[in-house]
Amino acid sequence: DHVLRAAHVRVLKGVTIAPWVVVGSCSLVSKPLTQPNAVYAGQPARLLKEDVGWQRDPQGLDKEQ
């Protein structure tokens, strides 16, 4: 749930991805990505940043006027 895969990401069969993960462009996911709230990228994909918060404000209320 809530996984963002950039363009040209390849995920091998049987691999699981934790929730709230972003996988960078042209990455190869060959083993489980177990850290939630994280950014992975590379060939093979590796952890680049963890404890990342992803918030979205659909009305744009958190933008400074």
Per residue in 12-60, pLDDT (tens digit) is: 999 999 999 999 999 999 999 999 999 999 999 999 999 987 666 666 6
Annotate 8-48 with three-state secondary structure.
Answer: CCEECCCCCECCCEEECCCCEECCCECCCCEEEECCCCEEE
> What DSSP designation does 7 have?
T
CA angle 47, 8, 44 (to 5 degrees): 35
> What DSSP designation does 58 have?
T
Higher per-residue pLDDT: 11 or 59: 11
Does pTM top 0.95 for this prediction? no
Query: What integer pLDDT is reported at residue 52 of this predicted model?
Result: 87
Query: What integer pLDDT is reported at residue 64 of this predicted model?
Result: 56
Query: What integer pLDDT is reported at residue 55 of this predicted model?
Result: 67
